[in-house]
Structure formats: C-alpha cells, structure tokens
Amino acid sequence: MISVLEAKSILEKNIKKLPSQALPGSDALGSVISKDVIAPMDVPSFNNSAMDGYAFCFDESKTSFIITNSVQAGDAKSHSVKSGDTVRIFTGAPIPDGANTVIQQELVSLQHNSILFEQGSVKQGDNVRLRGAQCKTGDVIIKAGTVITPGVVALLSSVGISNIDVYRKPNVKVIVTGNELVNTGTPLHHGEIYNTNQPAIIAYLNLLSITNAEAIHVKDNLDELRNQIADALNSSDVLILSGGISVGEYDLVYKALSHEGVQPLFYKIKQKPGKPMFAGKKDNTVVFAMPGNPAAVVTCFNQYVKPCLQYMCGYENTFSTSVMLPLAHHWEKKGTMANILKAVVKNGEVNILQGQDSYNLLAYADANAFALLHENDMVKKKGDLIEVFNW
C-alpha cells in the first residue's frame, strides 16, 4: 500500500493534457483555452456614443446648439456636424465627423430645433467610446489557460471570433459492476440495492463539464467484464470502474484489467474510505477502479479522478487545490490510515460530519467539502488547521 500523497504524485507524473480542438465558443463552456487569443480587430471599430443624447464639437463658451440631424445605432450613413450644430444620437450610434462630445438627454432642454444646457454640465470627450477602447488589433485579449465562461464567449464574439482552440474533453467510459445492483425506478427484491455509483459518477463528470460519458452496468462475470473493458480501452481516454476491485471471490475487476493488459500505477492506498483504489494505464487510456461503497466512490473521485480529468482538460496545478482551514470542533481519528472525511465548510471553519461509514450517504445532504487527515494526524483540536478539498 502507498500513502495518499504517493498516489497523487504517481498520477501527476503519468497524466498528460489532451490535444486541442476548435469549438464554437458557446459549445465550449467550462473548456480551457489552449493558446493565447489575439484580437483580429479594434473594438469598438468606430467611435460611438455611450448614451442617448446629443453629439457636438465641444466649445467651452457654448451652451446652445442647433439640431441638424439624427443618428441611431446601426446607421451606415456618413454624418458630420459643424461648429454650433448638434445631432440627436442614440447609444451605440457612430459619432459624426466633427463631433467629440455627447451630452446625455437628461441634461438638456429643448427649444424649437435647439438644445440648451447649463455651463459645466459636460466636458470634452464625455460619453464617447473611442475606437479601440476595449482592444486593438494584435492585442492578447485572452491568455492560454483561461476557462471559457459566458463572459469569455461574449468577449470572443465582440471581436468576431466564433471558433476557439480549447483542450479536448476526455472520452470517458464508466463501468459499474455487481449482481446486486438495480436501477432506480425498479422495485427491489431481497438482496438487491439501487445502483448509486453510476448516477453519482455521471453527476460528478457533468459538474466538470464532461458530458459525453458512456455508462454501463456489468454483472460479476469475468468474460463479460473483460469484453466491456477491452471495448472501453479501445474507445476512451479514461475508463472508470466501481465495485469488484477488492480481494473477494467475486471481485473480478483487477483480474479482468490484468487480462486486458492494463499496467498498474498503484493498487491500494493507506486511506479510509477507498483503500482498494486502483489506477493504471494501457497505451493512452487511463484507468481508475474504485471500490463499490458509494461514499468511497465519491471520495476517491474527488481526490484522484477529478484532478486527473481537470489536468487532461488543460487546467494547471490540479493536485494543489486544497486549503488549510481551522477545525470547528475536536476530532479524533481511529486507526493509522489517512481519513478522507465528509465535511461542511461554513463561516471559514470546517465541520466534520457524522456518518463517515463508506456505505452511509446521509452526510452528503450537508457536505460541501472533504477534510483530509493524514496517517499521523491522530488528534485534532478545535482551531487546528486541517486540509480541505472542495467538491
């Protein structure tokens, strides 16, 4: 068995970023941009009005201008104003030649075909958005490594970019094993339990914006398991299994993985829950096999699978995402294994929840984080700093 830190170190050394691909910005939410984005144009591409109002050439001595025309957003005509004249203008409309100032409509009074305003209510350049005020042609507007959000999509669209190079999301296959599993919505017979791990894993993948995962349930049958593993190894970047990875007579996953040529990176970690955690590789496919207890699955996913998937998707330092926070109460660890505990972070403190058994999911109704107590962290007092990982 290896320690939690050793397991993470091994994974860090063996996980690689996936190649990039071009996607429409709106289809790439949550993806990571793979190279700097250069502005292909000035934005704004013309001087325009920031307000509904009146555009004119500023003259400190004048507080009255004659209205000669009107310009609205999208007007493609060429307009100009002479000294002493003004044009009615609307937000986003091009500033006419000769004008350099816009006074907002609330600050003027109308008199026949003229506007009047108080001295000092406007200064030269007010309410004019200058060409290139956002960015100029050739500017780096988004750095590589930026995660695409709706705001980033808006920025890309503002410079006319529709497709953007992002790190490809991994193709993920999920295999959940066990004769006892039944999908929700089906009545249970004696000895059966609901398939909890499959929806939990898919939900976690969705949380990471990985929405293309395939998931199947396989009975405890070595031939069927080998066939499904072989298919997944040929068609996916990541294979995630739950159940059947311990050492019981019907724990067939390790044997099936070995038969299909998966090389172990590690097997078994000095931790609770999730001791019989397995990670391995075959060619370019990364394999994770987690125990069947649902809390162990969610825990192991958070600690090992999540950071690997994020790194493959282009994120950096994905194994260094913990924070140190004070414990809200006394806690004593049993045994010498590391404990990864369901916790809730509130008001800057960590509360370790009751119900830490690997089968018990009740604490997840409140949990928003995991607290990690390493092997030698036997007793923690209120106020002691402990390592915390968010979901």
Residue 264 pLDDT grade (very low, low, confident, very high; cuts 50, 70, 90): very high
Mean per-residue pLDDT, 84-109: 98
Give me the chain's average pLDDT, please: 96
pLDDT confidence of residue 248: 83
Integer distance in angstroms from the first to the last C-alpha of the chain?
Answer: 26
Is the distance from CB of 49 to CB of 130 less than 8 angstroms?
Answer: no
Is the distance from CB of 271 to CB of 337 less than 8 angstroms?
Answer: yes
Give the residue extent of every domain in the chain: 4-18+169-312, 25-42+134-167, 48-129, 323-390
Question: What's this model's pTM, rounded to 2 decimal places?
Answer: 0.89
Closest among 300, 387, 377, 298 to 350, alpha carbons compared = 387
Mean per-residue pLDDT, 224-248: 96
Neighbouring residues of 346: CB distance < 8 A, sequence distance ≥ 6: 328
pLDDT in tens, 341-371: 999 999 999 999 999 998 899 999 999 999 9
| Pairwise CA distance, residues 199 & 183, whole Å | 10
- Preceding omega of 94 cis (within 30 degrees of 0): no
Neighbouring residues of 7: CB distance < 8 A, sequence distance ≥ 6: 266, 269, 277, 279, 304
Top-tier CATH class for 4-18+169-312: alpha beta
What residue has token string 């004593």? 332
Per cent of the chain over pLDDT 70 is 100
pLDDT in tens, 122-163: 999 999 999 999 999 999 999 999 999 999 999 999 999 999
| Pairwise CA distance, residues 376 & 339, whole Å | 10
Fold of 25-42+134-167: Molybdopterin biosynthesis moea protein, domain 2 (3.90.105)
Q: How far from 163 is each of 144, 232, 239, 342, CA to CA, in Å?
A: 15, 30, 29, 41
In terms of CATH, what superfamily is 48-129? Molybdopterin biosynthesis moea protein, domain 3. (2.170.190.11)
pLDDT confidence of residue 32: 97
Fold of 323-390: Beta-clip (2.40.340)
Closest among 286, 315, 390, 318 to 30, alpha carbons compared = 315
pLDDT confidence of residue 247: 85
Is the distance from CB of 51 to CB of 128 less than 8 angstroms?
Answer: no
Closest among 174, 158, 205 to 25, alpha carbons compared = 158
